[in-house]
């Protein structure tokens, strides 16, 4: 998907063939074996990966995911998307992504800590505050980032908070990082409703995924007066045209860790969630959930891509035909709030000077607003889909930086 999307952009920007590989190929791809002691006394080995896409604009930046799907290809695609995302937002980073092939729910807390520490320890030769800065992604959280930071720091002999972002506020994290992706999604949905002259008050939304991104997006949209008519995670899907009680769902998910068990009456078929009639659909879980068939059946006015890569290139071709009906906020714009506040966290850690939440939010909205305005202007000027416009802005920025720096030696 990442390659196919890039070719579309490279054709649109008329990038010569011999320049394309330099832009697309990852600089480094690392695979490590992470052995850990299990609670039963046995040893298990998990495969870990990290792909650093380019180092042209500064260190690389991106999350670490713990999921059974993780492989080098998935991580590479996600690293490439991080590059365009950071460039679009104007952050001084290249993209990276990493992960461990594991179902974190199959580990005890002690095993999870052991695996987190071993993964970071294996990565020490390849990461650093000026080389590659990790963050949370699917299956990891603030606690995992705190273990990463501690492990790296113990090897350095001093506390190096700026080695990862998305840490707890208690250990060098920033106010507002945990909520940043979800809040950013809601902010951009707000900008989209303005453009479409829709009133968010009383508009309806469905949200797929109820982790850190989906749950905060749902709560933030609800605060804007949007009625959440459907939510799902990997354990359950609930639909209620009258509107779900988001605060109750959040409490349930906080207690149980999953949505299962919240209600029997409202249970629905998860494959029906995204195609519900609604104003706003937010895929905020995994890649490739919108294929050509679902794209044809979408009945939302705004598609806000909270996940990375939720829409396949085939689905994109359908959505391009339906441009007047479905307003797409592409992933690299829609979920950029997370990495933008990660950048703020890194800057605060480097300066040992911390901002309050209002300042973080203010700056976040400013950066998102600037990116949104640029994407809209580009899409309008060249009559291209929003995804093409967003990616083109990102690719152009990296391309220009590579051109002026030239090739060494």
CB of 46 to ligand GLU, least distance (A): 19
Comparison of 99 and 230: residue with beta carbon closer to ligand GLU: 99
CB environment 197-213: b (16+ within 10 A), e (fewer) = ebebeebbbbbbbbbbb
Beta bridge partners of 303: 281, 328
Measured between alpha carbons, how far is 23 from 403 in angstroms, rounded to an integer? 11
Alpha helices (runs of H) in 196-245, residue ranges in sequence order: 212-223
* Residue 324: CB minimum distance to ligand GLU, A: 29
Nearer to ligand GLU by Cβ, of 276 and 342: the residue is: 342
Residue 140 or 193 with smaller CB distance to ligand GLU = 140
Q: How does DSSP assign 98-143, residue by residue?
A: EEEES-GGGS-HHHHHHHHHHHHHHHTTT-BTTTEEEEE-TT--HH
Cα 61 off chain centre by: 12
CB closer to ligand GLU, 208 vs 308: 308
* Distance of alpha carbon 375 from alpha carbon 388, whole angstroms: 9
Residue 320: count of CB within 10 angstroms of its CB: 16
Q: Choose, from 85, 97, 167, 397, the residue flagged as catalytic.
A: 97
Kind and range of the H or E element at 97?
strand 94-101
**For ligand GLU, which residue has the nearest CB?**
63
Question: Shortest Cβ distance from residue 81 to ligand GLU (Å)?
Answer: 8
| Residue pair 211/233 in contact by the 8 Å Cβ criterion | yes
Of 193 and 342, which CB lies nearer to ligand GLU in the complex structure?
342
CB 174 within 8 A of CB 347: no
The reply to whether 85 belongs to the active site is no
**Binding residues for ligand GLU (CB under 6 A):** 61-63, 135, 137, 165-166, 308, 335, 338-339, 342
Smallest gap from residue 174 Cβ to ligand GLU (A): 11
CA dihedral of residues 288, 292, 296, 297 (deg, nearest 10): -50
Of 173 and 230, which CB lies nearer to ligand GLU in the complex structure?
A: 173
Cβ at position 182, least distance to ligand GLU in Å: 12
- Taking the complex as a whole, the smallest distance from the CB of residue 365 to ligand GLU amounts, in Å, to 17
Residue of 204, 205, 203, 214 lying closest to 236 (CA atoms): 214
Task: Please list the active-site residues.
Answer: 97
């Amino acid at each position: 998907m990442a390659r196919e999307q890039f070719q579309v952009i490279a054709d649109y920007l008329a990038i010569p063939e011999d320049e394309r590989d330099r832009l697309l190929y990852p600089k480094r791809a690392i695979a490590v074996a992470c052995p850990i002691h299990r609670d039963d006394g046995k040893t298990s080995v998990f495969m870990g990966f990290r792909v650093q896409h380019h180092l042209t604009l500064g260190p690389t930046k991106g999350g670490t995911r713990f999921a059974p799907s993780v492989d080098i290809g998935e991580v590479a695609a996600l690293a490439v998307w991080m590059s365009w995302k950071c460039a679009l937002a104007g952050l001084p980073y290249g993209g990276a992504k990493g992960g461990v092939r594991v179902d974190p729910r199959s580990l005890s807390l002690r095993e999870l800590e052991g695996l987190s520490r071993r993964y970071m320890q294996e990565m020490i030769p390849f990461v650093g505050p000026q080389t590659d800065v990790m963050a949370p992604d699917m299956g990891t959280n603030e606690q995992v980032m705190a273990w990463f930071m501690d492990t790296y720091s113990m090897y350095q002999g001093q506390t190096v908070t700026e080695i990862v972002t998305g840490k707890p506020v208690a250990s060098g994290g920033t106010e507002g990082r945990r909520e940043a992706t979800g809040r950013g999604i809601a902010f951009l949905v707000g900008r989209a409703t303005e453009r479409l002259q829709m009133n968010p008050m009383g508009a309806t939304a469905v949200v797929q995924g109820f982790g850190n991104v989906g749950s905060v997006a749902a709560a933030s949209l609800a605060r804007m007066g949007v009625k959440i008519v459907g939510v799902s995670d990997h354990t359950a899907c609930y639909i209620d045209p009258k509107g779900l009680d988001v605060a109750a769902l959040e409490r349930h998910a906080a207690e149980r860790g999953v949505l299962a068990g919240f209600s029997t009456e409202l249970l629905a078929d998860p494959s029906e969630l995204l195609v519900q009639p609604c104003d706003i659909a937010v895929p905020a879980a995994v890649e490739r959930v919108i294929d050509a068939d679902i794209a044809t059946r979408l009945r939302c006015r705004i598609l806000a891509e909270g996940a990375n890569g939720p829409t396949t290139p085939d689905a994109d071709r359908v959505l391009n035909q339906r441009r007047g009906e479905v307003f797409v906020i592409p992933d690299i714009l829609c979920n950029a709030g997370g990495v933008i506040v990660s950048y703020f966290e890194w800057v605060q850690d480097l300066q040992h000077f911390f901002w309050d939440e209002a300042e973080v939010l203010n700056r976040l909205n400013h950066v998102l607003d600037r990116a949104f305005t640029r994407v809209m202007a580009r899409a309008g000027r060249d009559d291209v889909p929003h995804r093409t416009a967003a990616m083109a802005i990102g690719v152009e920025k990296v391309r220009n930086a590579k051109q002026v720096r030239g090739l060494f030696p």
